[in-house]
Amino acid sequence: MVGAALAELIGEHHAKYLEEQLVHGGLLLWVRTWDAEREKTATEILKRHSGRDVHAHTFTAEA
């Protein structure tokens, strides 16, 4: 079910990858930021605290 919902938001390729990570004990964490500076800060914090595969996605209002 998680995979299907994610596929609609971010595409089938990314949804499959995320689903595989969850099956292997990974943690999916989404952080909403309001500007590029805060996005950079959030990314740095996650990486400093052992975050792996940390990256940003931009969603439109339609998503």
DSSP string, the chain: -HHHHHHHHH-HHHHHHHHHHHHTT--------SSHHHHHHHHHHHHHTT--S-------TT-
Most confident of 2-6, 15-19, 57-61: 15-19
Q: Are residues 48 and 22 in the same domain?
A: no
Supply the pTM of this predicted model: 0.58
Compute the mean pLDDT over every residue in the chain, rounded to the nearest whole number. 79
Q: Are residues 22 and 44 in the same domain?
A: no
Q: Are residues 19 and 39 in the same domain?
A: no
Percent of the chain with pLDDT over 70: 75
Mean of pLDDT values over 28-47 = 90
Integer Cα distance of 18 and 7 in angstroms: 10
Contact, 47 vs 31, CB < 8 A?
A: no
User: Is pLDDT above 90 for 25?
Assistant: no
Mean of pLDDT values over 43-59 = 85
Per the structure, the count of domains in the chain is 2
- The domain of 38 spans 31-63
